Amino acid sequence: MTRADAAPLWIKDPLAILANGAERGIVVQDGRIVELVATGRTPATSDARLFDAGEHVVLPGLINTHHHFYQTLTRAVPDALDRELFAWLKALYPIWARLTPEALDLGMTLAMAELVLSGCTTTTDHHYVFPAGLEEAVDIEVAAAKRLGLRVVLTRGSMNRSQRDGGLPPDSVVQDEDTILVDSERVVARYHERGDGAMVQIALAPCSPFTVTTSLMRATAELAKRLDVRLHTHLAETEDENRYCLEVHKCRPLDYLEECGWLNDSVWLAHGVHFNTDEMPRLARAGTAISHCTCSNQMLASGACPVCALEDAGVRIGIGVDGSASNNSSNLMQEVRAAFLLQRGRYGVERVSHRDALRWATQGSAACVGRTDIGKIAVGAMADLALFKLDELRFSGTGDPLAALVLCGAHRADRIMVGGRWIMEDGQIPGLDLADLMRRHSAAARALRPA
């Protein structure tokens, strides 16, 4: 793997680039973008080495704001097919209860490899299943991310409201509140990096209103505030969740969130499908952002997130692929296209362009994870880049290269740079044998399923 170089590198004359004033490319040095090179100019930086990007469309690296990596082990499970969220979860919990550290490592590595290949430079993950033996799930995840060189915001998930307390999950996959809070504090102290350029960050993430007690929701918010880390959870995903909240908490999910001390600018929420017009300005005023998970919402027939209405109210929107068992894919570039199609269908050609969808997956996603140093091509930003070639049949004959990525369905990047390091070159992730990974991952997935 190539290391970030102190020497400047001119990514020269791209076919197209998602930035203004960078028609002749950009110069990166010490992990950051140090110069944009406009039409007719050459870099002011002397001695820059060259990377000829004449065949590449250059994007800010895409940022994935919601996922459950371990679910790559339970894709297209027969018993979970054709079910909505609650029934789908009940079909899968018993399989997830059998997760082992080895299987988890394979599931996480495979998910991250899929993301990198699809143009992702920063990803979150929401790991909330902690059966006995899997207490160090976050540690396993940090190690896997470091091996790949991917920037990550890992969330220490949790569930403590199981069937015996009126929740949805079986008792064997939940932990008690003290265990969760102690481990949350441990992983923040051990792994959370602060400031620009952080490669590993930790956020806290109780799973959902129907799997976590009110006490744990409140205690987690207090802990996150004390430790100065972000908060994440699922909210407003389905009508079932609305009914559950009204029945158990006597209010709608957003009211419940506020009661728990969660309506603020350190929070980003997955889904946000079922917010009403009174709730949208409240989210905006609070600075709470939404991760739009198009494919998952369609797969589970949860509904369609009102992305443009939320944006018009002032809410920041990012993109998330969601778990590989609901989406069944971790391809972030395809998620951009899916979000573009769904939202354009809903709001029209005047409101939604390919540039909006790319903005959601870059600047919008950066806002979800509370970062200003990524998600854009600008002087001072981290050198996190996704380079795509237009050398497949689907692109032949295209006019606008940037539009072609979204409209023609780009699904695989050619090169990925994170913090000035190439972590993928010529379509390959150095040091990762994909065939061997798939063989071991498939074997682990088979072993988890009941005979």
Distance from C-alpha of 10 to C-alpha of 23, rounded to nearest angstrom: 12
Q: In angstroms, what is the minimal distance from the CB of 66 to Zn ion? A: 6
| Residue range at the interface with Zn ion (CB under 5 A); choices 50-58, 83-91, 318-326, 419-427 | 318-326
27, 45 Cβ separation under 8 angstroms: yes
Distance from C-alpha of 17 to C-alpha of 34, rounded to nearest angstrom: 16
| Residue range at the interface with Zn ion (CB under 5 A); choices 54-62, 143-151, 273-281, 322-330 | 322-330
Q: Which is nearer to Zn ion, 29 or 122 (CB)?
A: 122
342, 304 Cβ separation under 8 angstroms: yes
Residue 322's contacts (CB-CB under 8 Å, 6 or more residues apart) are 66, 67, 68, 270, 293, 295, 296
Q: Which is nearer to Zn ion, 205 or 336 (CB)?
A: 205
| Residue range at the interface with Zn ion (CB under 5 A); choices 77-85, 316-324, 367-375, 414-422 | 316-324
AA letter at 434: L
Count the site residues for Zn ion by CB under 5 A.
Answer: 1
Q: Which is nearer to Zn ion, 211 or 363 (CB)?
A: 211
Specify burial of residue 132 (Cβ count, 10 A radius: 0-12, 13-18, 19+): exposed
Q: In angstroms, what is the minimal distance from the CB of 253 to Zn ion? A: 15
Specify burial of residue 17 (Cβ count, 10 A radius: 0-12, 13-18, 19+): buried
Q: In angstroms, what is the minimal distance from the CB of 405 to Zn ion? A: 26
- Is 237 a binding residue for Zn ion by CB under 5 A? The answer is no
Distance from C-alpha of 323 to C-alpha of 110, rounded to nearest angstrom: 13
Edge-to-edge, what's the strand order for the sheet holding 200-206? 62-64, 120-127, 151-158, 200-206, 231-235, 267-271, 289-292, 317-319
Distance from C-alpha of 219 to C-alpha of 184, rounded to nearest angstrom: 11
| Residue range at the interface with Zn ion (CB under 5 A); choices 31-39, 211-219, 315-323, 399-407 | 315-323
- Is 141 a binding residue for Zn ion by CB under 5 A? The answer is no
DSSP state of 392: S
Q: In angstroms, what is the minimal distance from the CB of 67 to Zn ion? A: 7
Q: In angstroms, what is the minimal distance from the CB of 297 to Zn ion? A: 10
Q: Which is nearer to Zn ion, 128 or 360 (CB)?
A: 128
- Is 322 a binding residue for Zn ion by CB under 5 A? The answer is yes
Q: Which is nearer to Zn ion, 114 or 322 (CB)?
A: 322
Residue 243's contacts (CB-CB under 8 Å, 6 or more residues apart) are none
Q: In angstroms, what is the minimal distance from the CB of 266 to Zn ion? A: 19
How many contiguous H segments (helices) and E segments (strands) does the chain have? 15, 17
Q: In angstroms, what is the minimal distance from the CB of 389 to Zn ion? A: 32
Q: In angstroms, what is the minimal distance from the CB of 225 to Zn ion? A: 24
DSSP state of 294: H
214, 207 Cβ separation under 8 angstroms: no
Report the relative pairing of strands 25-29 and 415-418 from DSSP bridges: unpaired
The residue of the chain with the least Cβ separation from Zn ion equals: 322
Question: In a 3-state reduction of DSSP, which class is residue 286?
Answer: helix
Tokens of 99: 């997760």
Q: Which is nearer to Zn ion, 9 or 254 (CB)?
A: 254
Distance from C-alpha of 75 to C-alpha of 107, rounded to nearest angstrom: 11
Q: In angstroms, what is the minimal distance from the CB of 234 to Zn ion? A: 5
Distance from C-alpha of 402 to C-alpha of 407, rounded to nearest angstrom: 9
Q: Which is nearer to Zn ion, 322 or 373 (CB)?
A: 322
Tokens of 54: 């004449």
Q: Which is nearer to Zn ion, 115 or 418 (CB)?
A: 115
| Residue range at the interface with Zn ion (CB under 5 A); choices 39-47, 159-167, 304-312, 314-322 | 314-322
Q: In angstroms, what is the minimal distance from the CB of 312 to Zn ion? A: 25
Q: In angstroms, what is the minimal distance from the CB of 213 to Zn ion? A: 19
Q: Which is nearer to Zn ion, 105 or 322 (CB)?
A: 322
Q: Which is nearer to Zn ion, 29 or 155 (CB)?
A: 155
Q: Which is nearer to Zn ion, 29 or 64 (CB)?
A: 64
Residues that bind Zn ion (CB under 5 A): 322
